Structure 1
């Protein structure tokens, strides 16, 4: 039987649902005025919008989280990019309530507000819990692989030093 998710884990799952479901459509809505985006992922769409259009960037640019006062479509794109990067680099699969509530307030902008509100209260069923457990297992495997790579780097460095010592002894 799967254990109950913590609040932070639920926040992570909900944020994942937003960033994988609603946010790509929000970026697509703006992007489709320029190109057909149905085959593009969110990162590509934002990169293309930043570099191939005359859209006015948010005050701090696309790489910083815009203030809550900035409500332009490009500010919403910067938010999507910011939170997507956070989600992609989390190791523990948890998002605290403050970040979750702040993020969900503008992800996708006003056109997607009702969907964002629905994700906030969506009942996370067994499938969602299984996804979360798979993510946890994957993260654990990634950590183990990173440790293995580090061990191999150390062993390789030791081996390289031994080879150099042997080279020095050969006339």
Structure 2
């Protein structure tokens, strides 16, 4: 039987691997972070030891929660093929994690305390924008009954529309409707890539991704949202 130290180290390694962060094992060990400490860590704790990407921190928290749930229930995850697992992981990143990162980016450009005034000042311009729909008005403008604007009430489609037409993110050279060239690392290009990848997942009728497709998409999505 393994001693507790080895057993705990194996659990730490397992969680980091599930979160796609096995390279942090050495950092955690040198910083005195044990498996038992993982559930108690905060975003600030993780940033202090070098885990600077929001996506990485959220993935780690999810892996810890999943691990604890499986242990407490005495169960193991339903068997999935590697290609199905690739698809589910990419979908979680694109639809659960990326919107949070984009919302943080939006809030950094438009602090919540000033947002309602800023939106009201551009009300006419935004209402004439085809990408901002009438059903969005009550959560955007005081004249439509909104008393407190919160970006957490915006879905990703609305956030994207506001970033393009309100924040005035510069349009990529290849336009908003084509996948940008790899060398284009502008904010506008990152938004377009995220939209294209999400659409690709939404229209993937097989619900699978090859290892190459997964790693290409995963790395690009992480790179596109990491700086936000």
TM-score, normalising length from structure 1? 0.57
1:37 counterpart = 2:151: yes
1:82 counterpart = 2:189: no
SS at match of 2:172: coil
What is the rounded CA distance, in whole Å, between the counterparts of 1:81 and 1:37 in structure 2? 19
Query: Any gaps of 5 or more consecutive residues in structure 1?
Result: 114-171
1:48 counterpart = 2:172: no
Specify which of 96, 102, 127 is matched with residue 210 of structure 2: 96
Partner of 2:102: 27
Determine if contact 2:172/2:186 at 8 Å carries over to the other structure: yes
Partner of 1:139: none
SS at match of 2:213: helix
Query: Max radius of gyration: which structure?
Result: 1
Structure 1 pair 86/110, CA: closer, same or farther in 2 (3 Å)?
Answer: closer
What is the rounded CA distance, in whole Å, between the counterparts of 2:206 and 2:100 in structure 1? 27
- State the shift of 1:108 in Å: 4.6
- State the shift of 1:82 in Å: 0.6
Structure 1 pair 110/48, CA: closer, same or farther in 2 (3 Å)?
Answer: closer
Q: Which has the higher contact order (CA 8 A, sep 6+)?
A: 1
Determine if contact 2:99/2:156 at 8 Å carries over to the other structure: yes
What is the rounded CA distance, in whole Å, between the counterparts of 2:87 and 2:155 in structure 1? 20
Query: Any gaps of 5 or more consecutive residues in structure 2?
Result: 1-75, 116-149
TM-score, normalising length from structure 2? 0.44
What is the rounded CA distance, in whole Å, between the counterparts of 2:162 and 2:225 in structure 1? 21
Aligned residues: 113
Matches within 5 A, 1:107-122: 107-109=221-223, 112=226
RMSD: 2.4
Determine if contact 2:98/2:225 at 8 Å carries over to the other structure: no
Q: After the TM superposition, which parts of structure 1 deviate over 6 Å for at least 4 consecutive aligned residues?
A: none
SS at match of 1:105: helix
Partner of 2:80: 5
